[in-house]
Amino acid sequence: MNKRINYYKDLAADYSRPGLVADNLQKKLIQKGEDIVAMKEATLPQIGADYTLEQIEQENKEWWPTHCEALRQGRGDILTGEYRDDLVYFCQDGPYQGLEQQKEREQHWWALIAQPGVTMCWPIVMFYGEHTFFEWKCEDNETNETIAKGNVTWVRRGHRGGCYLKTEQLTFYRDVFAPNELLTLIKTA
């Protein structure tokens, strides 16, 4: 039998369940997320001797905790900044292409999973070159029920490239559209 591993062993923070990330680290990760978004280049960088898959994988591991914290804090500005302008996004409502097609739908998703009283967790995350796969769930802090869950694959060319392909299967057990009072909690660009 394969030995189970801690997927967060070598990462800056553990987002596998609620309560594992100190407040001061949360702030540092938000700042780092803003810094990483600013590194994205206008042209997708080529993989080669100057920008290897190993470097890209390491950058994706550095980016991952910033992404988790941005979602927990409803930082839609950072989340949108992680995408390339020509993003291809496959999900059950899609496909979406570019940053405008999925914007309204994704804003509702972010509002629901970042709402007060729930915590998003990522129990599984795996990296391979420019690929990041993860499973997520959003738990009600009072009842411990899962209100939403899914699995996602990002094809992300490190800090310089950002995400150009995202595939997602997601399931919401409560609402699919967020009420206006939750939408106002999502920071936009």
Q: What is the CATH number of the domain that holds 110?
A: 3.10.450.50
Reply yes or no on whether the pLDDT at 5 is more than 90.
no
**3 within some domain:** no
Q: Which domain holds residue 144?
A: 23-183
Tell me the two tokens of residue 7.
């997927």
Residue-wise pLDDT for 74-113, tens only, equals: 898 999 999 999 999 998 887 999 988 877 777 878 888 8
Residue-wise pLDDT for 26-73, tens only, equals: 999 999 999 999 999 999 999 999 999 999 999 999 999 999 999 999
**9 within some domain:** no
**98 within some domain:** yes
Choose among 84, 83, 76, 99: nearest CA to 30.
76
So what's the pLDDT on residue 175?
64
So what's the pLDDT on residue 176?
63
**15 within some domain:** no
Q: How many separate domains does the chain show?
A: 1
Q: 131: burial class by Cβ within 10 Å (0-12, 13-18, 19+)?
A: middle
**34 within some domain:** yes
Instruction: Please report the DSSP string for 131-167 in residue order.
Output: EEEEEEEEEETTT--EEEEEEEEEEE-HHHH-EEEEE
Residue-wise pLDDT for 170-183, tens only, equals: 888 876 667 788 77
Q: What share of the chain is helix, strand, coil (3-state, %, to 5)?
A: 30, 30, 40
